[in-house]
Amino acid sequence: MIGAARWLIRFEVGIWKSLFLWATRRTAGMRPGAEAFAYHRQIAPIIGAFIFVSAIELPVVHLLIPWDTVRLVVLFLSVWGLLWMIGLLASMKVFPHLLDADGLRVRYGAHVDVFVPWHAVATVAAKRRSVESGRSLQVEDGVASVPVMKQTRVDVALREPVRVGEDEVREVRLYVDSPKTFVPAVRERLAEHVPG
């Protein structure tokens, strides 16, 4: 119960941090020489629809509810919900997957960040897979999956295990908008950092 409450608080803080980063046009963790890869293209229209509906809800609530106190409470919740949905979309844009001198960072919003150092990577390949759960991070049988809409598109096999939370994994699967550019970029970095 306490663990779930901590996770919810971290998730909420991450949403508001994402809004700030998006408003200031910054990408979290971006350093000189790093490359960012998006994973939000498939889910953005769905979140955009929720944002649109939430924006329509604001004036409707104001016009339909006759009681001032109830109207203010519902208005507050509607504004919070609208900003939260914008923050959710922003979190996917300001926390992209990153390749840098140290390794690969597989992310999903502000709350999933799996770091894989280059020396631990054996191979990378484009491969479309489906996962059963809709969770943004799933660890099962030594495989960490970071899907978008229950899909992954890239497999990263490891030569040595890495820690993901309390588990050790030997493979990381992730969704990226463009595997055709991501996989060659990872292979190029791998060739630079792990000779032979």
Domain parsing of the chain, residue ranges: 2-30+40-94, 101-193
DSSP annotation of 2 reads: H
pLDDT score recorded for residue 195: 60
Is the pLDDT assigned to residue 59 strictly greater than 80?
yes
pLDDT score recorded for residue 43: 93
Q: Which residue in the block uniquely carries the two structure tokens 């597989």? A: 106
3-state secondary structure (DSSP) of residue 32: coil
Is the pLDDT assigned to residue 83 strictly greater than 90?
yes
pLDDT score recorded for residue 105: 97
CA distance 121 to 97: 16
pLDDT score recorded for residue 65: 83
| Nearest by Cα to 89 from 56, 59, 54, 130 | 54
CA distance 176 to 106: 10
Q: What is the mean pLDDT of the chain?
A: 92
Lowest mean pLDDT, pick from 51-55, 57-61, 95-99, 105-109: 57-61
Reported as type and span, the H/E element at residue 182 is helix 179-193
Q: Enumerate the β-bridge partners of residue 185.
A: none
